[in-house]
């Protein structure tokens, strides 16, 4: 890994770090040299990962954060800064899904998805931006915000209307934030992964309908978590100094 791709000297906050992709992102950022704030509601799930990173020689801290709450997000960023120093890279990854036909879906379920996926991403990015600007990123140009969307941001998925709508919102929000912060030293980019088996969808892909879905993919397989490693590190690093407002789809050709 080149020096520009290494994350030594960076402090990265990852939301949704208690499981799935967030857990993976936190681990690979720590391996690349970053100090990592692991943010999630379920802090009990962060204990083992925090210990793993520390035992490997890294620095990590578990942060209680509910991304739907402005107060919780602000307190979480303050706690991360107290423990690790100013945060200069953020990966807004927290997300949920509520499946079902739109006519049968409760408005409460719709609101839950939008509150975590879209409102949560905004609160996370805004809290990061305020602190990065206060820390002088307009002069250093080292601010990095990565919003994790999905191929659902551009591809309609049956039975997942709220999820698709929320991720489309994340995509455009990332582009708008990048434009707003263009001259202020913060790069904002959006990652749109394809289908990867994680805790949120493992039951589906083990079912017969899920297996049929996989069989319809051009390569007839799910992606692996590690397929996103290099892009996540790149977009969090100094190497991405000239990259902002971009949307990166990594889906193994699933939308091809």
Q: Are 146 and 99 in contact (CB under 8 A)?
A: no
Report residue 4's pLDDT band, with 50, 70 and 90 as the boundaries: low
Question: What's the CA gap between 102 and 160, in Å, rounded?
Answer: 8
- Taken as a whole, the chain contains a residue count of 256
Whole-number pLDDT of residue 3:
56
- The per-residue pLDDT for range 167-214, each reduced to its tens digit, is 999 999 999 999 999 999 999 999 999 999 887 788 889 999 999 999
Produce one character per residue of 162-184: b if its CB has 16 or more CB atoms within 10 Å, e if not. Answer: bbbbbbbbbbebbbebbeebeee
Whole-number pLDDT of residue 200:
72
Whole-number pLDDT of residue 1:
43
Q: What percent of the chain has pLDDT over 90?
A: 92
Whole-number pLDDT of residue 24:
96
pLDDT at 245 over 70: yes
Report residue 5's pLDDT band, with 50, 70 and 90 as the boundaries: low
| Mean pLDDT of all residues belonging to the chain | 95
- The per-residue pLDDT for range 83-136, each reduced to its tens digit, is 999 999 999 999 999 989 999 999 999 999 999 999 999 999 999 999 999 999
Question: What's the CA gap between 170 and 150, in Å, rounded?
Answer: 9
Whole-number pLDDT of residue 216:
95
Domains observed in the chain: 11-249 (3.40.50.720)
pLDDT at 2 over 60: no
The one catalytic residue in 122, 163, 195, 234 is 163
- The per-residue pLDDT for range 204-239, each reduced to its tens digit, is 899 999 999 999 999 999 999 999 999 999 999 999
DSSP E strands, 65-156: 89-92, 143-148
Nearest to 173 by CA among 71, 75, 98, 247: 247
Catalytic site residue 163?
yes
pLDDT at 54 over 90: yes
Residue appearing with tokens 């962060």: 46
Q: Are 73 and 65 in contact (CB under 8 A)?
A: yes
């Amino acid at each position: 890994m080149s020096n520009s791709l290494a994350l030594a000297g960076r402090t990265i906050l990852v939301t949704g770090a208690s499981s799935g992709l967030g857990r993976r992102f936190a681990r690979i950022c720590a391996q690349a040299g970053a100090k990592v704030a692991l943010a999630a509601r379920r802090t009990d799930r962060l204990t083992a990962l925090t210990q793993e990173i520390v035992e490997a020689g890294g620095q990590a801290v578990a942060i209680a954060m509910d991304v739907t709450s402005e107060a919780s997000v602000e307190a979480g960023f303050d706690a991360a800064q107290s423990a690790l120093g100013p945060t200069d890279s953020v990966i807004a990854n927290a997300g949920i899904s509520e499946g079902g036909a739109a006519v049968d879906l409760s408005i409460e379920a719709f609101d839950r998805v939008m509150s975590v996926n879209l409102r949560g991403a905004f609160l996370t990015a805004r809290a990061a931006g305020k602190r990065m600007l206060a820390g002088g990123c307009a002069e250093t140009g080292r601010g990095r915000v990565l919003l994790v969307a999905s191929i659902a941001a551009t591809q309609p998925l049956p039975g997942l209307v709220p999820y698709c709508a929320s991720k489309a919102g994340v995509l455009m929000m990332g582009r708008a934030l990048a434009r707003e912060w263009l001259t202020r030293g913060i790069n904002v980019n959006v990652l749109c992964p394809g289908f990867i088996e994680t805790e949120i969808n493992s039951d589906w892909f083990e079912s017969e309908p899920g297996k049929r879905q996989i069989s319809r993919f051009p390569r007839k397989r799910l992606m692996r978590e590690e397929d996103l490693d290099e892009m996540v590190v790149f977009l969090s690093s100094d190497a991405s100094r000239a990259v902002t407002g971009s949307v990166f789809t990594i889906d193994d050709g699933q939308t091809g």
